Every structure is written in C-alpha cells, then in structure tokens.
Structure 1
C-alpha cells in the first residue's frame, strides 16, 4: 500500500485497524464531524441498493450517521454500528437506530441484512475478521460494500497546504499528503479489503467501483472540516490553531475558495446463496 489514506491516522508499524487511539478519536467533536464531513455520491447509493435483495442495511462504523441518512432517504431500514459512544449518541439524536461495539466483536443475534455498508471506516476493521462477520450478518445474495472518498485539490492548492503541514507537523503523514495521488492510496485500501474478503468463504469475487465528483469549499467550510481528519484530531490546541491559520491563509491566497476533486472508490462483493 503506497500510504495510509490522507484523511486518517499517522503511519505506524501496525495496521491501521490496530491504531485504536486514532480510530476512536473522531467523536471528540461529533457535532463538527457531522456538520463538516462530505456525504457520498447518490449514484453509489443507488447502485448498492440496486444490487441488494431487499432494504435492510447495516452501516458499520456509522459515525454520526452520514451514510445511514443517505440510505434511509432512499427507503432503506438502517441499523448503525459504531465503536464510539459519542458518535453513536449524536446519530441517535438524528433519529438513527445505533448499537455501540467494534464490528469484529459485535453479535448479530440472528439478525440478517440485505447489505452491509461501510463508508470511510473499513480500514479501522480487521479485514479478515470483518469480512467473516459480514458473511454472518448478510442474507444470501446480500451485498458487502466498502467505500471511501479520496479527495485531491489542484496541485497549487495541494502544495500550499503541504507547506503548512511540513512547517507545523514536519514528521507527520499529513506533511507527505498527496505525494501519492489520493485515489491510489484509497484504491490500495480497496485491494486490502478485497484480499481479506478472499480469505473468507461465502463471497463472490470482489469488484471495485469508482465515482468521480467535485465539491467547492469556502475558506470557512474547509477550516471547519480540517480538525475532523485523523491526522489532526489529536493535535495540541496551539498547533491546531497554527495549522488552521496557515491553511486559511493559503485559501485566501487562492481567492478564498477552492475545489476538491473527489473519487469515491468502493469494493463490493455478494454473499453466496448458502450460508
């Protein structure tokens, strides 16, 4: 894998799913996370639903419910699952049914679903144990769909941001962000997930999907989202303020806004007809 995804935790000798301090840090400001994080292309949601035998969906790592609300709006019945009680509490306040547990240790208690989905989360799940649990929770011909948003600004904006990261956090993964195109890093996560799926009986050969889209960000919108990213959730306040000031100045120099080019990449597989 060329690099860990640029939105998530620091490079480590351990696999990302073992980096629990970062994995469980996103609830430190759940309101901001819910407000600032991007959703996912409707085409992705529609394609997942079209490939499932019904409308019962399990959202693994549901966070504050960003993915779940999209599936509910499309007519699905969604159960959310998250390891962080703070994120789960906000999702419940938004009307979602949520259970708190790590997916690998969660007990389906005989319940089965037409789809198990996971947005921006599966790299925090053990890829083999997670696939085995998904097989247990899926109905025959149910779909496992794992997906990530890979964001890439234009080169001049990316370099301006990187200069700030190198100054404030010189030894961090953020300082090397976009050295490899983001979509390559996230596609590598899809490949790792597919490798885990292949080690578990009961699934068809995994497919990879891609959806390209764009979103403009104002200075304030991007600075609102930045502290929710895994590279920054545990920064000391003084360093975070320095980082935000530098990134804000870079956006001002670019005219006060910029466009993020997203590729949403997914790996999907179907549960075979028999358990």
Structure 2
C-alpha cells in the first residue's frame, strides 16, 4: 500500500528518506502498529536464512520488531537499529536488542553480521549510503535482503478511501494520486534498490524475489490497521474519523469483510567474498 505523506508538509523532500518526520511518526501508537501490521512470509524468512553464512542478523529500521522476531524464532541472533525510541522501547520489551539511531548515523563499532535485513524500511534510508554501509558491516558471503509488502485494497475500498482522504487532507502531497497503483510501480522501486546495491561494486549480482499471498480482513480489523499507515499517523482526530467512517461504510457494503491480495517483494544480494 502506498505510504502517504504528512498532512501539512514542510517543503516537500525529493526522496522518501528525507521525510524524517514521517519516517519517525509510526511510534505514536507502537502497540497498535505491532498488533495490526502483517508479518512476512515464512518462505521468505527461510530463503534468507538458507542463503546466509551464519546466525547473526542486523535488522535496519526494526520498528517494533515484527520481522526481527521471525528471525529470532528461527534461531537467529538479531540486533535491531531503529531511529524512533518509542518503537525501539516496544521491541526491547518483547525481548529484542535494539540500538536507537538512523542507519546512516549508526556506529557499528567494528561489529559485522552474516545477514542484514530491512523489512518495510529501506525507503526511509538513503539507498546509496545504506548499500555501502550494509557492505561495510556484512561478512564475506553475507546476505543483504531488502523486502516489503505491496497491498492495495480492492477498488470498492480503495476508491472511497482516496476520496475521503482528499476531502480530509486536501493539502496532502498525494491527495491527487490514483486510488490504486500498479504492482509494476513498486517493482521498479525494488529494481532501483538493486541498482544501488550493484553500484557499490561489493556485492554479487542482486536478485529479485516475489511472494504472493492473501489475507482476509473484517471491517474492524482493517479500520484498526489504517491509522498505523504513513498517511494517517499525523492526521487530526477529526480528519482520521472522516476517513475511517468512509472506509467502514465501503466495507459494510461488501458484507463486512474483504480479502487482501499481498505481494511481498525483495531485492537481495550476497557480499562478495
């Protein structure tokens, strides 16, 4: 699902990772974020682990630790790096080791890892700086894996959401964007990630992975998730209520539930030996 910008922006950044206020807005309700955001396909986690030389994982932009706990449950040792102290605190309370910093500023202090992952977070990292730093902290033959979900609700839900968002937040940078975006738009973003990895000259040829899956949502489940998304985290309560009312009515018209089609995309590469 597209990450929508803040309601009243300062002069708009040309790149998502420059929008620091939005990038660090998700901790406003960390428990909700952790409760409602979907995890990652087991097949993806297994494939990353199988292609990594050892157990030590660095999780960039760990958030509340959704992906990190999946790697931890699979027997990996995980260190998270997270710029939002609220999100980091939640992840620590769930048993993860997390250091508070933006990845570009984080000091590895000589530490290296077998795997570096970024789950739904790389668009908040300067991709050129990030790729070079990932190479710096990866051991030879270690794996960098950047991945995230693409999820566009059906048109019957997406279009009322877009219309309500335009009414509630007309100054949004994306208020004029289409209600739904083609998968190829997101795939091109992961191709650009692969390009920056390739340009470091420190990785083997990057690969593109894709995992398709589905999840049903009730009206209440989807309305619980929406406020955790980037376009809504900084809205006023009255703006948020207007949007949720419109989306709730649309889901009611579908019988109170719908099925979301997810695609999880990954750009991944092995550190040259």
- Give your verdict on TM over 0.5: yes
Measure the CA separation in 2 of the matches of 1:43 and 1:193: 21
Q: After superposition, where does 1:228-267 map in structure 2 within 5 Å?
A: 228-267=228-267
Matched, 1:49 2:45: no
CA distance in 2, matches of 1:217, 1:177: 22
Partner SS, residue 268 of structure 1: strand
Q: Are 1:203 and 2:203 matched, yes or no?
A: yes
Q: Report the Cα distance in structure 1 between the residues aligned to 2:175 and 2:231, rounded to whole angstroms.
A: 6
Within a 5 Å distance, the mapping from 1:49-198 to structure 2 comes to 49-172=49-172, 173=174, 176-181=177-182, 183-198=183-198
Structure 1, unaligned runs of 5 or more: none
How much has 1:251 moved relative to structure 2? 1.0
Normalized against structure 1, the TM-score is what? Answer: 0.93
- 1:208-266 Cα offsets, whole Å, 9 max, x none, are 10000011111111111111100111111110111111111111111111111000000
The whole-number CA distance in structure 1 between the counterparts of 2:4 and 2:257 is 23
Deviation, structure 1 residue 8: 4.4
Question: Structure 1 residues 19, 82: closer, same or farther in 2, change over 3 A?
Answer: same
Please tell me whether the aligned partners of residues 165 and 175 of structure 1 are also in contact (alpha carbons under 8 angstroms): no
Q: Distance in 1 between matches of 2:30 and 2:184?
A: 28
Root-mean-square deviation (Å): 1.6
Q: Distance in 2 between matches of 1:46 and 1:138?
A: 19
Which runs of no fewer than 5 residues in structure 2 stay unpaired? none
TM-score (structure 2 length as normaliser): 0.93
SS for the counterpart of 1:185 is helix
How many Å apart are 1:271 and its aligned residue?
Answer: 0.2
Cα distance in 2, alignment partners of residues 150 and 250 from structure 1: 21
**By how many angstroms is 1:176 displaced?**
2.4
Paired residues in the alignment total 268
Q: Distance in 1 between matches of 2:4 and 2:66?
A: 17
**Equivalent position to 1:7, from 3, 27, 32:** 3
